[in-house]
C-alpha cells in the first residue's frame, strides 16, 4: 500500500480501439453507419494500417462492428450483438460519469447468479471445496474489519469456491466478466461492500446450508448476503452520478 499505481502502457492499436469503441458505445457512431475505409482511418489516426486493423479485429471480436471483405465495416447494435465483455466500457458515459443503470444491472445479475450458484453448490459441491470454504470463513473472522484489501481478497476467494462448486461453467465465465466490470469503480465498491464482506454470520449460514445439502437454504442465505452490498451500493449511486474514484473524502 504505497499509493502507487501501475503505469498504464498503451499501445497504438489499443488506443485506436479505445477511441472507436467509445464512439460506438456512447452513440456518436450510429448503428449501421459505415466506418471510413481503413486507408482513410489510417490517416486520421496517424497510424499504420496494421495497427488499425488489429484494433478493428478486436472490435469485431467484441461484436461492435461487422467487417466484410470487399464491403464497408459497419457499426453493429451492441445491445444485440455484444456480450458481457463490453460492460467495463459501459460504466462510464460520454461525460465521464458513472451510469447508475449499469451499476444496478450488474448488482442484479450478481444476485441472481450468486443465489443460483449457491443452490447448485448445495447439491454438487465436492467435499474438499466445502472444507476449504469453512477454513476460509474461519479466517474471515480474524480479519480486521477495516482491512479493505484483505476483505476484498477473501470475498473473491469465497465466490470463486461457490461458483466452482456449482459446476456451472457459464456462471464461472459470467463471474469473470462481472468482476472485470467492477474494476473501473473498484475503490468505491470495495468501500461500500464492507458490511457485506465482513458479515461472518451471513457467510457461515450459507456454508452450513451448502454443507448440509440444503439448496433452498443456501439460496436464501445467498440472497440475504448479496442484498446487503446491493442496497449499500444502490443507495450511494441512486442520488446522482459519481465521479470520484479515489480514496475516502
Partner DNA sequence: TTGATGATTTGGTCTGACCACTTGACCAAC
Partner DNA sequence: GTTGGTCAAGTGGTCAGACCAAATCATCAA
109 binding partner (options a second copy, DNA, none; Cβ < 5 to 8 Å by kind): a second copy
* Shortest distance, position 84 Cβ to a second copy, whole Å: 5
Is residue 131 classed as helix, strand or coil in its secondary structure? Answer: helix
Binding site partner of 37, from a second copy, DNA, none, Cβ cut-off 5-8 A by kind: DNA
Return the number of the residue (133 or 194) whose C-beta is nearest a second copy.
133
Backbone region of residue 157 per phi and psi (left: phi > 0; alpha: psi in -120 to 50; beta: other values) = alpha
Which of the choices DNA, a second copy, none does residue 35 contact, using the CB cut-off of 5 to 8 A by kind? Answer: DNA
Which residues partner with 34 through β-bridges? 74
Considering the complex, what minimum distance in angstroms separates the CB of residue 225 from a second copy?
Answer: 17
Work out what residue 28 binds among a second copy, DNA, none; the CB cut-off runs from 5 to 8 Å by kind. Answer: none
Taking the complex as a whole, how short is the minimal distance between the CB of residue 18 and DNA, in angstroms? 12
Quote the least distance from Cβ 150 to a second copy, whole Å.
20
User: How many C-beta neighbours within 10 Å does residue 205 have?
Assistant: 18
Shortest CB 11 distance to a second copy, Å: 7
Closest distance to DNA from the beta carbon of 44 (Å): 13
Tell me how far, at minimum, the Cβ of 4 lies from DNA, in Å.
Answer: 15
39 binds, among DNA, a second copy, none (CB under 5 to 8 A by kind): DNA
What residues make contact with a second copy under the rule CB under 8 A? 9, 11, 13, 50, 53-54, 57-58, 61-63, 69, 79-87, 90, 101-102, 104-106, 108-109, 112-113, 115-116, 120, 167-174, 176-178, 180
Residue 63 or 187 with smaller CB distance to a second copy: 63
Taking residue 178's Cβ as centre, other Cβ atoms within 10 Å add up to 19
Contacts (Cβ under 8 Å, ≥6 apart) of 154: 136, 139, 140, 143, 197
CB of 107 closer than 8 Å to CB of 87 = no
Between 99 and 242, name the residue whose CB sits nearer to a second copy. 99
85 binds, among DNA, a second copy, none (CB under 5 to 8 A by kind): a second copy
Helix (H, G, I), strand (E, B) or coil at 74: strand
**83 binds, options DNA, a second copy, none, Cβ within 5 to 8 A by partner type:** a second copy
- Given the rule CB under 7 A, which residues bind DNA? 9, 11-14, 35, 37-39, 46-51, 53-54, 56, 67-73
Amino acid at each position: 500500500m504505497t499509493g502507487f499505481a501501475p503505469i498504464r502502457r498503451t499501445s497504438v492499436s489499443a488506443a485506436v480501439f479505445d477511441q472507436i469503441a467509445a464512439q460506438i458505445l456512447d452513440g456518436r457512431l450510429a448503428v449501421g453507419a459505415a466506418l471510413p475505409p481503413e486507408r482513410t482511418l489510417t490517416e486520421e489516426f496517424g497510424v499504420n494500417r496494421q495497427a488499425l486493423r488489429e484494433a478493428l479485429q478486436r472490435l469485431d471480436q467484441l461484436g461492435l462492428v461487422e467487417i466484410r471483405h470487399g464491403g464497408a465495416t459497419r457499426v453493429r447494435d451492441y445491445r444485440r450483438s455484444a456480450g458481457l465483455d463490453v460492460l467495463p466500457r459501459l460504466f462510464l458515459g460520454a461525460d465521464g460519469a458513472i451510469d447508475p443503470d449499469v451499476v444496478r444491472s450488474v448488482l442484479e445479475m450478481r444476485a441472481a447468479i450468486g443465489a443460483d450458484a449457491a443452490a447448485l453448490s448445495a447439491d454438487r459441491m465436492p467435499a474438499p471445496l466445502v472444507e476449504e470454504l469453512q477454513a476460509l470463513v474461519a479466517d474471515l473472522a480474524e480479519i480486521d474489519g477495516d482491512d479493505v484489501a484483505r476483505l476484498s481478497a477473501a470475498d473473491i476467494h469465497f465466490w470463486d469456491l461457490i461458483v466452482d462448486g456449482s459446476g456451472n461453467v457459464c456462471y464461472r465465465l459470467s463471474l469473470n466478466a462481472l468482476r472485470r466490470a467492477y474494476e473501473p469503480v473498484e475503490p468505491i465498491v470495495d468501500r461500500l461492500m464492507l458490511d457485506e464482506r465482513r458479515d461472518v454470520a451471513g457467510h457461515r449460514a450459507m456454508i452450513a446450508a451448502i454443507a448440509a445439502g440444503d439448496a433452498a437454504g443456501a439460496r436464501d442465505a445467498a440472497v440475504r448476503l448479496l442484498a446487503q452490498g446491493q442496497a449499500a451500493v444502490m443507495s450511494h449511486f441512486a442520488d446522482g452520478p459519481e465521479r470520484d474514484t479515489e480514496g475516502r473524502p
